[in-house]
């Protein structure tokens, strides 16, 4: 019995010692392991180049779009006059868009590409839906963007749809202008 007790105690001590050694050795490993924050990191240059190329391509596309939208296709010189939808000989309807209601004094149009633009009349030299840009300091300090939605003038003249006859007489009158054509006719 003494031998069995001795043998059992020896096994217990050996087991406890094995646990202590195993804990000690894993602690020792953890102490030996260190982290280096200054490790040289590899960079995938091909991925970086693709990213840079996509950014450059995006920028080039945006510049091309701006050139497409705001670049002049042609320039003309003509007289600029002003009119109101209810002037003598006017019907209140536009030749290119008879369904557009101008009875509320509206003189702008919401174009899907150029946003809110002024309405002008031109001869058939410019197709309906053409977008033009011109400067006239009496009307605005900024370039004026307008869409051709009406007829009734000759040659290269432009007739600006004003909110009232008084406005047309006071701010527009008759003057020579040079205007740029930004879009010819409606978008397809």
pLDDT tens-digit map of 140-167 = 999 999 999 999 899 999 999 998 888 8
Phi, psi (deg, nearest 5) at residue 164: -155, 165
Closest CA to 162 of 91, 81, 76, 89: 81
The per-residue pLDDT for 49 is 62
Quickly name the fold that domain 72-183 has.
Barwin-like endoglucanases (2.40.40)
Please say if the pLDDT value at position 25 is more than 80. no
- Nearest-5° angle of CA 123, CA 127, CA 133? 80
| Both structure tokens of 117 | 């633009």
- Reported as a single tens digit per residue, the pLDDT across 79-126 is 999 988 777 667 777 889 878 878 777 899 999 999 999 999 999 999
Q: What is the mean pLDDT of the chain?
A: 80
């Amino acid at each position: 019995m003494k031998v069995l007790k001795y043998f059992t105690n020896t096994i217990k001590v050996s087991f406890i010692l094995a646990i202590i050694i195993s804990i000690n050795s894993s602690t020792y490993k953890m102490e030996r392991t260190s982290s280096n924050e200054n490790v040289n990191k590899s960079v995938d240059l091909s991925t970086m180049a693709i990213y840079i190329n996509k950014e450059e391509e995006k920028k080039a596309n945006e510049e091309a779009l701006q050139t497409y939208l705001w670049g002049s296709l042609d320039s003309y010189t003509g007289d600029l006059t002003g009119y109101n939808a209810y002037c003598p000989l006017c019907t209140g309807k536009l030749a290119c868009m008879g369904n557009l209601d101008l009875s509320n004094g509206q003189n702008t149009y919401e174009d899907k590409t150029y946003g809110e633009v002024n309405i002008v009349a031109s001869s058939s030299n410019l197709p309906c839906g053409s977008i033009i840009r011109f400067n006239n300091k009496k009307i605005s300090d900024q370039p004026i963007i307008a869409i051709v939605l009406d007829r009734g003038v000759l040659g290269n003249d432009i007739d600006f749809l004003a909110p009232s006859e008084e406005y047309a007489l006071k701010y527009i009158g008759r003057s020579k202008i040079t205007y740029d054509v930004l879009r010819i006719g409606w978008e397809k």
